[in-house]
Amino acid sequence: ETGVTQSPTHLIKTRGQQVTLRCSSQSGHNTVSWYQQALGQGPQFIFQYYREEENGRGNFPPRFSGLQFPNYSSELNVNALELDDSALYLCASSPETGAANEKLFFGSGTQLSVL
């Protein structure tokens, strides 16, 4: 186990609703990244937070937003849910940011289904 915890593990929402996913990073890690993994695809980078600031963003619309707290835990918020948002959402923590050899430690993920 990596020590990265995510909640909830499963979630069912309807189109148009809003959702908040949570992540606690591994002890000693100050960087949290969020990924979306659709079935049969690799993880797609959503954004990264470093010391409570957004530190990079992938090709996702503004309705995907996030926060990082002083204890380095993080939230992913998605507004106006669409059917295509159904996916496994992964949180990954790392001990530092900006390093080319940065290794990711993933949580167990939240499986989101949008009906």
Partner 1 sequence: QKEVEQNSGPLSVPEGAIASLNCTYSDRGSQSFFWYRQYSGKSPELIMSIYSNGDKEDGRFTAQLNKASQYVSLLIRDSQPSDSATYLCAVHPGGSYIPTFGRGTSLIVHP
Cβ atoms of 91 and 68 closer than 8 Å:
no
* Contact call for residue 24 and partner 1 (CB under 8 A): no
* Contact call for residue 53 and partner 1 (CB under 8 A): no
* Contact call for residue 30 and partner 1 (CB under 8 A): no
Q: Choose among 104, 87, 86: nearest CA to 95.
A: 104
* Contact call for residue 20 and partner 1 (CB under 8 A): no
* Contact call for residue 60 and partner 1 (CB under 8 A): no
Q: Which of the ranges 16-24, 62-70, 71-79, 97-105 carries the binding residues for partner 1, by CB under 8 A? A: 97-105
Q: Which of the ranges 13-21, 63-71, 76-84, 92-100 carries the binding residues for partner 1, by CB under 8 A? A: 92-100
Smaller CB distance to partner 1: residue 72 or 89? Answer: 89
What are the CA-CA distances from residue 75 to residues 2, 39, 52, 101, 106 (Å)? Answer: 18, 22, 11, 25, 15
Separation of alpha carbons 35 and 67, rounded Å: 14
The residues that bridge with 47 in the sheet, in sequence order, are 34, 57
Enumerate binding residues for partner 1 (CB under 8 A).
2, 33, 35, 40-45, 48, 56, 58, 88, 90, 97-109
